[in-house]
A and B are shown apart, each in its own frame.
Chain A
Amino acid sequence: MSKGFCIVMYSGTADTFMSMGVLSQISANLGVPVRIYVTGFALLYFTKNKPEPRFPKEFEDFAPKMIKGMKRANVPDWYDMLKEAKELGDVKVYGCSTTASIMGLKKEDFDPIVDDIVGATTFLNETAGYEIVFI
Chain B
Amino acid sequence: MSEPTFKVDARGMACPGPISALLKAYRKAKNGDIIEILATDPGFKPDIKQWIERTRNELLELSEDENGVIRALIRVTAKRS
Contacts and interface: CB of A to CB of B under 8 A. Distances in A.
Interface in B28-61: 50-51, 54-55
Interface residues of A, number: 15
Contact of B20 (A25, A31, A73, A74): A25
B68 interface: no
Contact of A26 (B12, B16, B24, B55): B16
Given A29-B19, A84-B20, A88-B23, A75 B51 contact: no
A132 interface: no
Interface residues of B, number: 14
A8 interface: no
Interface string A14-25: 000000001001
Contacts of A102: none
A30 B54 contact: yes
Contact of B16 (A1, A25, A73): A25
| Leading 4 A-B pairs by shortest Cβ distance | A29-B19, A26-B16, A25-B16, A75-B14
